[in-house]
Amino acid sequence: MKFSKKKRMIAILVLLLLITLLALCVPFRTALVFYEENTKQIDAFLPIEEGAPFQLIFKHSIHLTDVVEKYVVLDNQNMKQNEIVYEEFGIGMPSNAQEGEEFTYEDGKYHIKRLDNIFPNIKLRNGKTVSENRLVWGENAEHQIYLNKYFKPGSWFTLKIENLTLWEYLKGVRIVE
């Protein structure tokens, strides 16, 4: 039984359409995803690899000094906080290291190193009064953006490491320096 040219062309078009739809729905890229509040609505994302470091920097609302939280992306899509850096003791800041951690004072800043805090997600609020929150990434922390470039002051998000589909990647807001 021979297919007519028209039927063959329709079959090819249907096949191409199915392949395209499938390609749009298959996860292909790991990213640090900023979900709006506690929803599945993606506000923005940063393409990132397993093992890659990133930092969240916020301005302490009392001391008005930077607090740096350092993370690394784990292979199970969790985030490991491995260090925190700050300049002033006081409200909300740790005064010493826990067992297995290291407390140091370097270049005028306190460091708590060798942290082993594992997070499947992070709830983050973009500062409203003192809105200087930043996201830093890269092997040498060479990339940085102020969260106000992408988000309104006072808004909050759920951060997760996710595999994005091509469709989510194309329709989303990619964070770039």
Residue 34: its pLDDT value, please?
Answer: 96
Give the three-state DSSP class for 20: helix
**DSSP per residue over 91-160, as a string?**
TT--SS--TT-EEEEETTEEEEEEEEEEES-EEEE--SSS---EEEESTTS-EEEEGGGTS-TT-EEEEE
Residue 22 and residue 94: Cα distance in Å, rounded? 49
Q: What is the pLDDT of residue 85?
A: 96
Predicted pLDDT of residue 74: 98
Q: Which residues pair with 109 in a beta bridge?
A: 106
- In this prediction, residue 3 carries a pLDDT of 67
Question: What pLDDT was estimated at residue 11?
Answer: 81
The ranges assigned to domains in the chain are 28-171
Name residues of the chain where pLDDT drops below 50. none
Residue 114: predicted pLDDT: 97
Tell me what pLDDT residue 2 has.
Answer: 64
